[in-house]
Structure 1
């Protein structure tokens, strides 16, 4: 069986050996994305629904709120960092989301056993290729190209829960800023980036350590602290540029495999602290593997959806994908710094159906992966799925059979759903779950 999926910029063909539900890896033979064929294997877990989101580039569409936030951030960096009147930051906002595991993990020092590599977290095309899980996947290739200050902007893909703030596709801005000794210590030429016993020309003779929470062992404390001050000042300036001078913020120590030390920045929003970005000093191994090892760098990454929802009071992340003119015109032809508050076009009622099933004897409530079920529901129900929640776990006291119950909330963003059409979709989900996971509907 051959299935074709089309949108304006991509033609995707998936060839199945058997007429099975698309998330079952063993049924896949070849996967064609654009003009390229990819082999499939036991890692293949990408679905037709996820493939349909490729190349929409919402962050580049002028009538989308994500584009407004993107332009505001780019403008901030363009105005804050110039050399002889020209911006020093370059922008890369149209790179392919298909990357290698080397780009997404290995180049960023992410360990083999790190949970972010799991099939339950990522959309794999095969064991060596996936849809990028973060824009940082392009960091090393741009560093190898000789770039020193750059922004990477695009869509990223992660398997996740389903609710008003989570979607399998979202958009990120990642940035890197590097500085050499003469730039960082322009006023203090007697200071150095690297410790005396570290040889930048031969970094592999020195085992870099992150045991010290204040710095990497190869860096001097002066270089690390100065970069930290610059990084935090620049990001606080960006947050004030977006949310106003009076915004409350705080720094929280964090851990990322590719930076050390690392921090998260939180803002006080609607009476709660909300994390909006992660950042830190780039691990020197990454810079050394990418080219001349004569600089120190900071990096950060943030999600555009979270900022847009906060800035414009957008209640549901699915609205970013809406084609409804009532939504889009609220952001069309607006001044990039306009104070826009989203006004609901209409509010349509929810329909909620529960789905309970017995797991097969070789599975349990501890080993069943909810993200697999979420993908199945999303693939069949599409964007009318507002939320899926694990409602109940149950082990029969006599038979010891394991059961799960999920609550599925349906809501269309542009019209009222009838219970009859919801029941039809719900029945399709039941049948697909039975076939895919070998469960028995209760």
Structure 2
């Protein structure tokens, strides 16, 4: 009889269960009213007196083992159920996380910054809400200057001297006021102009402007810098400079890059000429240097500026500038793998 009890104890200790039904079946088998323990307790009266003590101790050991096993199995099952309810099936493969994508403006901006940083240009930033001095007057555009009409400006009604900057040249003015030459910096940022929104223009867009001031800076230095930039960004080394006018540079020029005429798209982009305008540039007007506290008789410099949006349209063949600001996920997802 005692050997049977010891065998049951071994079976109880070795028992495992995967479901609550199996646990309940085990409990009824040993601890139920008609279970194994009930049968052994009923047999206690038939055990010889000399064996009753050992028999009773073994039955109690079986009862304790069965009770503890049931409690342990229920605790494990309850914990697993709670985890499954809270986290789901932890053995299943994880769901792939959706990858975001950089905005084309951010991609092009980063590429331009990287290109100029290789030749020593730092990045400078300034406020988008500007005053008249930094946006116009210091840049050789005094009040009532006709060239102010070239930039249809958003003024604040509460203060006509405060406006949304029309170019990032205002950042260059602030930089020149607070730094001594030599100066070599680019100023990327968003600018605002009161223009009709269409496929080719918007009331806000992004620019990056460059400035280099030192002793003996010449137009040849400017051309060499621009040639390096177009080769690095577009893979095109052939450029041309056409005379132009900007109030804050003299002489001034528009920069064209030879895009080529290899495809039908090239013909449409360049209107059949193969040349594509990408930026404006020129030597910094001496008046601008003097306005910013830099001796124009000692120092000279060049400046250039381009639209980041326009560059993005060219690089990625985007037909409508409005796509850059409409946050259409179908459009943005195309740039997941963009460099």
- TM-score interval, smaller chain: 0.5 to 0.7
Q: Does 1:146 align with 2:179?
A: yes
Which structure 1 residue ranges, 5 or more long, are not aligned? 1-60, 82-88, 185-222, 336-442
Q: Which residue does 2:224 correspond to in 1?
A: 233
SS in 1 for 2:123: strand
Q: How does 1:396-415 map to 2 (within 5 A)?
A: none
Alpha-carbon offset, residue 171 of structure 1: 0.3
Q: Does 1:131 align with 2:133?
A: no
Residue pair 2:138, 2:292 contacting (<8 A) in 1 also: no
SS in 2 for 1:311: helix
Distance 1:298 1:259 in 2: 8
Distance 2:246 2:147 in 1: 11
* 1:267-292 C-alpha deviation (Å, 9 max, x unpaired): 24423233211111111222223234
Residue 111 to residue 274, structure 1, CA distance change in 2 (3 Å): farther
Given the alignment, which residue of 282, 289, 292 partners 1:290? Answer: 292
Runs of 4+ aligned structure 1 residues displaced above 6 Å come to none
Q: Does 1:76 align with 2:115?
A: yes
Alpha-carbon offset, residue 179 of structure 1: 1.2
TM-score (norm 2): 0.61
Distance 1:120 1:108 in 2: 13
Given the alignment, which residue of 250, 253, 276 partners 1:260? Answer: 250
Distance 1:290 1:251 in 2: 27
Residue pair 1:116, 1:122 contacting (<8 A) in 2 also: no
Q: Which residue does 1:280 correspond to in 2?
A: 282
Given the alignment, which residue of 295, 303, 328 partners 2:307? Answer: 303
Q: Does 1:162 align with 2:201?
A: no
Residue 127 to residue 92, structure 1, CA distance change in 2 (3 Å): same
Alpha-carbon offset, residue 161 of structure 1: 2.9
Distance 2:301 2:150 in 1: 31
Larger Rg: 2
Q: Which residue does 2:241 correspond to in 1?
A: 251
* 1:146-193 C-alpha deviation (Å, 9 max, x unpaired): 15111111111111233211000010001111112xxx4xxxxxxxxx
Give aligned pairs, total.
222
TM-score (norm 1): 0.47
Residue 120 to residue 65, structure 1, CA distance change in 2 (3 Å): closer
Q: Which residue does 1:390 correspond to in 2?
A: none
Given the alignment, which residue of 88, 92, 95 partners 2:124? Answer: 92
SS in 1 for 2:199: coil
Q: How does 1:4-43 map to 2 (within 5 A)?
A: none
Aligned CA RMSD, in angstroms, stands at: 2.2
Q: How does 1:381-420 map to 2 (within 5 A)?
A: none
Q: Which residue does 1:215 correspond to in 2?
A: none
Residue pair 1:101, 1:129 contacting (<8 A) in 2 also: yes
Residue pair 2:101, 2:332 contacting (<8 A) in 1 also: no
Residue pair 1:66, 1:320 contacting (<8 A) in 2 also: yes
Distance 1:68 1:113 in 2: 39
Residue pair 1:62, 1:68 contacting (<8 A) in 2 also: no
* 1:387-435 C-alpha deviation (Å, 9 max, x unpaired): xxxxxxxxxxxxxxxxxxxxxxxxxxxxxxxxxxxxxxxxxxxxxxxxx
Alpha-carbon offset, residue 244 of structure 1: 1.1
SS in 1 for 2:108: helix
Q: Relative to total residues, which structure has the larger strand share, 1 or 2?
A: 1
Residue pair 2:198, 2:322 contacting (<8 A) in 1 also: no
* 1:34-87 C-alpha deviation (Å, 9 max, x unpaired): xxxxxxxxxxxxxxxxxxxxxxxxxxx961111111111111111123xxxxxx
Distance 2:288 2:336 in 1: 41
Residue pair 1:66, 1:308 contacting (<8 A) in 2 also: yes
Distance 1:119 1:252 in 2: 19
Alpha-carbon offset, residue 119 of structure 1: 10
Distance 1:140 1:236 in 2: 25
Q: Which residue does 2:333 correspond to in 1?
A: 329
* 1:365-407 C-alpha deviation (Å, 9 max, x unpaired): xxxxxxxxxxxxxxxxxxxxxxxxxxxxxxxxxxxxxxxxxxx
Q: Relative to total residues, which structure has the larger helix share, 1 or 2?
A: 2
Alpha-carbon offset, residue 300 of structure 1: 0.5
